[in-house]
Amino acid sequence: MSALTATKPRGDRRRLGTDRRHNLTGWGFLLPAAVLIVLISFVPMIQALILSLQTGRGTRLDWADPLWYNYQRLLGDEIFKQTLGNTFIYLLIQVPIMLLIALALANLLNSPRLRGRAFWRTAIFLPCAMSLVAYSLVFRTMFATDGFVNDFLGAFGVEPVNWLGDPTTARAVIILGLLWRWTGFNMIFFLAGLQNIDRSTIEAARMDGANSLQVFWRVTVPQLRPIILLTAIMSTNGTLQLFDESWALTQGGPAHASMTMSHYLYEISFQRNPNFGYGAAVSYVILILVAVLAFIQLRIGDERD
């Protein structure tokens, strides 16, 4: 008995020593990535926060008086309010339409009876891999006053439309560009989710007399809820930080009517008498909006039974 009681603590100590070594090994692998994340992400975020509390031009910066002056200035900035409204127009119109089209396409391309599925999947996904400059030039040419779209409409007696010169149609062109470029990207996520759904649940619903629409809406969609939540958060975050289409398709015109917040951030930071402090304040407003909307979507979409 004495020998057994003497060896038991030694075995426990050996096991604890092994667990400690495993933990240290795990932290050793994680540490380089954690350091990089801190240096690349969190340090610049802190620096941007400090910068947003300063005023001045170029590198001649002083602490603002009061410290929240740049944020207070945003409340009276009509251009910023307009870009905020434009961004939410893109968000509220483009994101739901894009996700619905992506979900419908994924369901169609998941059918084993469809011929050439690999071709159609590649063709629909390809736009998101295309160069921004190339696709923006194509869109600007198509929607020019003497472009293909007006020529096509002219064949039906429709007068030429100044697509890029009117506020409403300029926003519409950006929304169409976003739909064309990013629908296939979200379709891939839905397609992966559909291929992981338990087929027995679909077969059981059909045996109970459910039609195709009922099976899709009541059986397939609930099982895709995590994917829908993921794509909704990614699309929302991407739209709130939208820059490329505003810059390349319309240059924010006419008169800032299609400009996004990120585009405005770029202009006040690197053009028009660069003001880094004010630009940093705009960036933090975007960050807060992204965080708040992501939190709301998580609270709504991640309801656990």
Each residue of 82-97: pLDDT tens digit?
999 999 999 999 999 9
Reported as a pLDDT band with limits 50, 70 and 90, residue 304 is low
Answer yes or no: is 116 within a domain: yes
* Tally of domains within the chain: 2
Domain co-membership, 98 together with 8: no
Using CA atoms, how far residue 304 sits from 97, 189, 226, 246, in Å, is 26, 21, 11, 38
**Is the torsion defined by CA of 285, 283, 253, 94 positive or negative?**
negative
Under DSSP, is residue 53 helix (H, G, I), strand (E, B) or coil? coil
Domain co-membership, 30 together with 164: no
User: What does the pLDDT read at residue 2?
Assistant: 46
- 302, amino acid identity: D
Using CA atoms, how far residue 169 sits from 11, 56, 258, in Å, is 75, 37, 9
Answer yes or no: is 65 within a domain: no
Q: Is the pLDDT of residue 132 over 90?
A: no
Highest mean pLDDT among 93-107, 206-220, 269-283 belongs to: 93-107
Using CA atoms, how far residue 67 sits from 70, 73, 239, in Å, is 8, 11, 29
User: What does the pLDDT read at residue 23?
Assistant: 82
Domain co-membership, 167 together with 256: yes
Domain co-membership, 272 together with 178: yes
| CA-based R_g, the chain, Å | 27
User: What does the pLDDT read at residue 16?
Assistant: 57
What pairs with residue 60 in β-bridges?
Answer: 57
3-state SS string over 64-92? CCCCCHHHHHHHCCHHHHHHHHHHHHHHH
CB of 260 closer than 8 Å to CB of 90: yes
Using CA atoms, how far residue 253 sits from 169, 179, 197, 248, 250, in Å, is 11, 20, 45, 11, 6
Each residue of 93-125: pLDDT tens digit?
999 999 999 999 998 998 888 888 889 999 999
- In terms of DSSP H, where are the helices of the chain? 2-37, 43-51, 69-75, 78-109, 117-125, 132-142, 148-154, 167-195, 199-207, 212-215, 221-223, 225-240, 244-245, 261-270, 276-301
State the average pLDDT for the chain: 88
Domain co-membership, 99 together with 167: yes
How confident is the model over 195-216, as a mean pLDDT? 84
Answer yes or no: is 102 within a domain: yes
Answer yes or no: is 205 within a domain: yes
Cis before 127 (ω within 30): no
How confident is the model over 220-246, as a mean pLDDT? 92
Residues of the domain holding 161: 77-301
| Interacting residues of 262 by C-beta distance below 8 A, sequence separation 6+ | 241, 242, 243, 246, 286
Domain co-membership, 32 together with 122: no
- CA-nearest of 264, 244, 221 to 102 is 221
User: What does the pLDDT read at residue 12?
Assistant: 60
Domain co-membership, 11 together with 145: no
Reported as a pLDDT band with limits 50, 70 and 90, residue 305 is very low
Domain co-membership, 139 together with 281: yes
d(CA 177, CA 296): 27
User: What does the pLDDT read at residue 11?
Assistant: 57
Share above pLDDT 70 across residues of the chain, in percent, rounded to a whole number? 93
CATH number at residue 283: 1.10.3720.10
Each residue of 10-27: pLDDT tens digit?
656 566 577 777 788 888
Reported as a pLDDT band with limits 50, 70 and 90, residue 1 is very low
Domain co-membership, 158 together with 253: yes
User: What does the pLDDT read at residue 19?
Assistant: 73
Answer yes or no: is 72 within a domain: no
User: What does the pLDDT read at residue 15?
Assistant: 64
Answer yes or no: is 67 within a domain: no
Answer yes or no: is 62 within a domain: no
Each residue of 27-51: pLDDT tens digit?
888 999 999 999 998 999 999 999 9
Answer yes or no: is 63 within a domain: no
Domain co-membership, 30 together with 143: no
Under DSSP, is residue 157 helix (H, G, I), strand (E, B) or coil? coil
